[in-house]
Structure 1
Amino acid sequence: MAASISLTGLAACGSAEPYAAKVNGITLSKAGLDDELDAIRNNKKYLAALEQSNITVKGKGSGTFDSSFVARVLTRRIYLELIHEEFVKRKLKLKAADLTAAREQLLTSVGDPAVLDAFPKAYYNEIRRTTAEVTVLQADLANASDDNLRKYYADHQDMFQQACAAHILVEAKAEADAIEKELAKAADPKATFAEIARSKSKDPGSGAKGGDLGCASPSGYVEEFKAAVLTQKLGVIGDPVKTQFGYHIIRVDSRDPVPPFEEVKEQVQQAVTDGAQGPFNDFLNKASSKAKVEVNPRYGTYDTSGDSPQVVPPKSPSVTDGPTDAPPEAPSDAPADAPTDTTG
């Protein structure tokens, strides 16, 4: 059974330490942790969403928090402090656009603007800041300078295009050649294409729709198919294309021009940042393993033996003060189940 920690008790006796954890000499205050846990508990919709995800927030006693949940929250606060330290070390700065993007990330995470707006303003400002710092640091680790973004854009232009296409997939080249000839003679090639796709295509998804693949970025297709979608004349049935799936008879109905860099700059930056997840995780794993971390014993101990260092909650309810429990996954682009801040 998970231990729980009440909001009153030792602190009233003056015996409680005022810190939740110390990270490389920086104090993460107990008050900051308490405020965060209260913000989560008092946001009814958010709390319900966590509980529906099988995350236990409340402890067994009145006014307590589950110690494992508190350990998760404290772990994430430690990680976010390490991110903040690296952010400052690299002399990075947050711009208004970064904070705007961070709010959008948080909205995506919680789903309902009312849930996000129900948090206290001070707590909301903190989670917006820490989310923005994560994203900006990821971009810096990926060396997402304007020049590098433009190079990525130039090298991956198909990612930012849209093409509408249809295909018929068959197993043998002879069958593909026969279908191509039949379509060349058809009075209404488009209608005949759809009819053949429904009756013969080995792709059940598009086959049921007359071969229609809809409109998408060509970058999502395998190389041979992508090349055809990018180069084939519009509305004209091309030669059968062989891929790992078989032979495709392809018709490209439309192909948008590549939008200018400025129009898709945010998408380019997101793509580069997503690609930086590896370097970011490497940084976080090293930083969290090497950091000098001291955890207030009432919340547990800091365990570096596993792949992801984390706060391990106490095994028994030996402390009766302050909220306890927090999810121990490392933040990636934003805190996971609960938005969190790192300062106290």
Structure 2
Amino acid sequence: MPITFSRLVPSALALALTLGACSSVSERPAATVNGDTITSEALEAELLAIRGNERYRQGVEQSLAQQGLQVSVRGEGEGSFDSAFVARLLSLNVYYQLLEQQMAERGLQITSEDLEAIRPQAINAVGGEEVFAAFPVAFQDQLVRRQALTLKLRGAVAGDLDPGMARQFYDQNPDEFTGVCVSHIFASKQQRGPDDARSRIDDLAGQLAAGADFTALATEQSDDATAAAQGGSLGCGGRGRFIPEFEQAAFAIPVGQVSEPVESSVGFHLILVTERRTLPFEEVQGQVEQALQRRQIEEFGAFVDDLTCTAEVEVNPRYGDWRDGCDDPAQVGQIEPPEGPATPSSVPAQGGSSQGSG
């Protein structure tokens, strides 16, 4: 799976925001991006800030695990960091250096008003006020700036989302906001077991075919007690409200026709669509806004991926090798860590002695 800009940034914890600004040029920078340096000192300062914030560190590792990545912040040795995590963090530094360069090229600036407005989002992104306050003040400021940088450049590249865009998109794409009003008769796998549930729904389907009344059968025989009390009715809703297998069938069958037995993860259903209509804008406004935001994020992510392909990036071998991914999308914009599980720190570990800088 490609490691793109969006994949490198876990949304729940905003790992991409844990990037320090580049300080003065050191003797051996961690990386050089189009001639601008990311110092090893700045990278190590970020690593220490993450390691020193226990709740945040745990959250980062959990977020990475949810992406299928078994990556730890700490290395096996005292005062060391996991090489895969260091490579990932440095990759993000490269991305954000590219964004800083784009800001300068476009003549864009982050104002004090931008920082003030975005600060609550930055706090929320790392897990709340208590987690945020556990970082050094300078690092807090970096987190806020990185959040503001991303949003400002994203707006410049993919366009800002204004309040009228949601309504315009809704009016131009009515078919995307069709809803269905549905009823069902349900046989539960949990209550009956898969085989008995299947036999049960087949029997009920046979009764309907023989002329039984759907509403009466749903009221008396369905395993969904809540819907049964309403004659089997589940109400009306758009895409995303129902479980996938149910939704696919509900949007496919004609109004007034009962479906064949539909198997879902929870059981078997006989579905009756009683109405199909375009949902009111007020009912789907949040859904429309989320769709527009996803498109904006995807467009911006593709833009940043293109930047990494054309950028001149050199990485200190201590941290790994840069893979631009121009010829292999699966490798776009990432640093492949060196062999071995740990990158030693040049500063003392908490409660430990210093390690060589390598």
Change (3 A) 1:79 1:154: same
**TM-score, normalized by length of structure 1?**
0.60
* Conserved? CA contact 2:83–2:340, under 8 Å: no
Matched, 1:167 2:190: no
* Conserved? CA contact 2:219–2:229, under 8 Å: no
Deviations 1:293-316 (A, max 9, x none): 122333233233553232233336
Matched, 1:308 2:332: yes
Once the two structures are TM-superposed, the CA of residue 40 in structure 1 deviates from its matched residue by 0.3
Letter in 2 for 1:64: S
In the other structure, the counterpart of 2:32 is 22
Letter in 2 for 1:32: A
Structure 1 spans left out of the alignment, 5+ residues: 1-15, 184-188, 230-237, 324-344
Change (3 A) 1:224 1:132: farther
* Conserved? CA contact 2:74–2:82, under 8 Å: yes
In the other structure, the counterpart of 2:86 is 70
Once the two structures are TM-superposed, the CA of residue 228 in structure 1 deviates from its matched residue by 10
* Equivalent of residue 290 in structure 1, options 282, 295, 310: 310
Q: Secondary structure at the match of 1:19?
A: coil
In the other structure, the counterpart of 1:338 is none
Matched, 1:248 2:271: yes
In the other structure, the counterpart of 1:55 is 71
- The 5-angstrom pairing of residues 1-344 of structure 1 reads 17=27, 19-51=29-61, 53=65, 54-91=70-107, 103-104=120-121, 107=124, 110-111=126-127, 113-144=129-160, 146=162, 148-155=165-172, 166-168=183-185, 175=208, 178-179=211-212, 182=213, 192=216, 194-195=218-219, 198=222, 211=232, 213=234, 216-218=237-239, 220=241, 225=250, 239-240=256-257, 248-250=271-273, 257-259=280-282, 264=285, 268-304=288-324, 306=328, 307-315=331-339, 322=346
User: Matched residues in 1 for 2:129 and 2:76: separation?
Assistant: 31
* Conserved? CA contact 1:302–1:310, under 8 Å: yes
Q: Tell me how many residue pairs correspond in the alignment.
A: 283
* Conserved? CA contact 2:118–2:144, under 8 Å: no
Once the two structures are TM-superposed, the CA of residue 205 in structure 1 deviates from its matched residue by 11
| More contact order relative to length (CA 8 Å, sep ≥ 6) | 1
**TM-score, normalized by length of structure 2?**
0.59
Letter in 2 for 1:313: P
* Conserved? CA contact 1:219–1:226, under 8 Å: no
Structure 2 spans left out of the alignment, 5+ residues: 1-25, 187-200, 263-268, 348-358
Once the two structures are TM-superposed, the CA of residue 74 in structure 1 deviates from its matched residue by 0.4
* Conserved? CA contact 1:83–1:133, under 8 Å: yes
RMSD over aligned Cα, in angstroms? 4.8
User: Matched residues in 2 for 1:193 and 1:97: separation?
Assistant: 60
Q: Secondary structure at the match of 1:65?
A: strand
Deviations 1:78-108 (A, max 9, x none): 112223333444455668688756744763x
Change (3 A) 1:215 1:130: farther
Once the two structures are TM-superposed, the CA of residue 271 in structure 1 deviates from its matched residue by 1.9
Deviations 1:33-67 (A, max 9, x none): 12211110100122234455442222333322222
Change (3 A) 1:65 1:224: closer
Change (3 A) 1:272 1:173: farther
Q: Secondary structure at the match of 1:297?
A: coil
Q: Secondary structure at the match of 2:32?
A: strand
Change (3 A) 1:161 1:139: farther
